[in-house]
Every structure is written in structure tokens, then in C-alpha cells.
Amino acid sequence: MDTMLSAKGLSKSFKHFKALDDLSFDINKGQVYGFLGQNGAGKSTTMRLLLGLIFPDAGSVYISGQLLSKNNRNLLKNVGAIIERPDLYGYLSGRDNLKIFALLSHANLKSTRLDEVFEIVGLKGRENDLVSSYSQGMKQRLGLAIAIVHNPDILILDEPTNGLDPQGIADMRALIRSLNADHNKTILISSHLIYEIEQVASSMLIIHKGKKLIEGNVKQLLNANDTLTNFQIQSDAHLLAALNNSTWAPFLQASTTESLSFKMDPEKIPSLNNWLVANKVAVKSINSIHSLEQYFLNITHDSTAKN
């Protein structure tokens, strides 16, 4: 499979702070690759390195198999990006902004391309307004328009749903899926929310304090069978004995007379709940969380607590 974007042993420090430590990954053609990490984990630093905005202390970036540092200008023709918030020229219209960045991309664009892109990102009708009058969500959409106007094969999107309302988030997700499925774009998308990545990405990497923690296929990593479901109950010791002799025993992770934890597919929750009720257990609440999500939350919580 063709590797479109590749990081090999990237390290970067800012003064005494090590922002990135020996990070490597490959993104194949047609993949949507999720880049997950809490704020300050090193996501934006990585994306800046991938675009040549900052220079690595060690390691290399390859785009379409070619070393970025040797052929920066040509390779970036095939890349579109949003880095952090899309800051634009507020004193110019949306159309002027898009036109400027389209020209800078050296693409031979049809005269209708700008209108087509405004249509795609949902800014049709507002393209001639000054960008200073745009909401954060509209700026985000214009940022995406700038990233895709020259029809690049690779998109690097740093938290593209930031600042969007729920409808905007849903639209952005649908757009990212469509860019991948219908236009075969290879997409690197970062987020600090596992749910965001789960919604759009096929593979993902979790980064923490500049280091890779885990990488793999999203479906495998977020296997439904790895979901932990916690039941808050009111019961007695007889229940625990009954449970250990039931078909639910293999899924049981922890048990007390007030709480039960199961590792299983969430689809099984209604059946288990029925079984508990049939065994005269008062179920007070049910709470499910994926083990990877729990792992990610624990990391975040630990760091927050230390800070």
C-alpha cells in the first residue's frame, strides 16, 4: 500500500521542554488517520513538523515517499491543512481569502472552483462578506475551503471541529467522511476527544507527553468487547454466588453487593439487566465506558491531577 505521509523518529524540544520524543508513524493512501492526545500532548507540534513550519531536532518527514526537507515546495502542492484555528485576513472577504490561498497553491483552477468549494463547505451566500464578520464556525469552514481548494491528495486537519456548533460538527464530520470516501483523500485529523476520532478515523494513534502510546486500527482498538459496563445495584451475597454460576460469569470483572463491572459488548446490557431484575436485584444506574477511553481519561486525569 502507498504510504502518503510518514514520520520517522521525530523529536522536538522548545528550550528545555521536550515536546516530541522519537515519534514515528505511517499513513497510507486513502486512510483517515486519527491523532489523539490531550491538550499539550504534542499533536500540533507534530502537525507543524509535517508541514515544515518548524524544524525537527531529529527525525524526518516524508510526503509521498519523498523527504520534505529536500523538496518542501513541490511536496506541499499536494497537501491542504488547517493548523489550530484558521486565522485569516479579516479585512478581506471570504472570496478574496480563498482566491489568495488558491493562487498561492499554484493550482490551475477552473473559474467555477471557488464557487464549488464555497458550496461544499456550506458558505455559499456569505462568500463576499468580510471575514471579520464571520463566526468562529464560519472561519473554520473557510479554513477547510482553503485546505481543499487546490484539490490536494493529503489533508492535515488540526482539531477541525473546534468552535463549531453541534450541527457544524456533524457537517464537518460528514464532509471529512465524504472527502475520504468520494474523493479518496488521505486525511490526518487530530483531536483531544476519542469520540471525534472514532467517528471518522480508520486508524489512530494516541500521543501523550510527546510519545506514542498506542497505534492501530480504530475498530480493533475500540473493540466493543472491551467496553466496561458498571451497574450500581442494591443486593446481597446470594447474588454474587448466582452470578458466578451464570452465563455472565466470564464477563464479570469486579463485584460487590453495591457494584458490578462487566467487560462485554454493550449490546448485551439489556439482557444482563433483565437477568439482574429477574434475580431481584435493584439496579440504580448503568454506566458504560470503553476501556481505551477509560485508559485515555486516566492519562488525562493523572496529568491534570499532577498539574
The residue ranges that bind another protein (CB under 8 A) are 14, 48, 51-55, 72-77, 79-81, 83-92, 96, 100-101, 103-106, 146
Between 10 and 75, CB nearer to another protein: 75
Between 57 and 226, CB nearer to another protein: 57
Q: 83, 47 in Cβ contact below 8 A? A: yes
User: Rounded to an integer, what distance in angstroms lies between the CA atom of residue 198 and that of residue 206?
Assistant: 12
Smallest distance, Å, CB 107 to another protein? 10
C-alpha cell of 123? 458558505
Q: 277, 233 in Cβ contact below 8 A? A: no
Collect all residues with Cβ–Cβ distance below 8 Å to 297 and sequence separation of at least 6.
Answer: 289
Amino acid at 46: T
Q: In what order do the strands lie in the sheet with 79-82?
A: 79-82, 154-158, 186-191, 32-36, 203-208, 211-217
Between 154 and 272, CB nearer to another protein: 154
Smallest distance, Å, CB 299 to another protein? 25
Between 37 and 86, CB nearer to another protein: 86
Long-range contacts from 64-69, C-beta under 8 angstroms, 24+ separation: 64/2, 64/4, 64/153, 65/2, 65/3, 65/6
Between 146 and 228, CB nearer to another protein: 146
Smallest distance, Å, CB 223 to another protein? 36
Between 63 and 233, CB nearer to another protein: 63
Q: 34, 197 in Cβ contact below 8 A? A: yes
Smallest distance, Å, CB 134 to another protein? 14
H or E element, residue 168: helix 166-181
Between 58 and 282, CB nearer to another protein: 58
Q: How far is CA 72 from CA 62, 83, 120, 299, in A?
A: 10, 17, 28, 36
Beta bridge partners of 283: 233
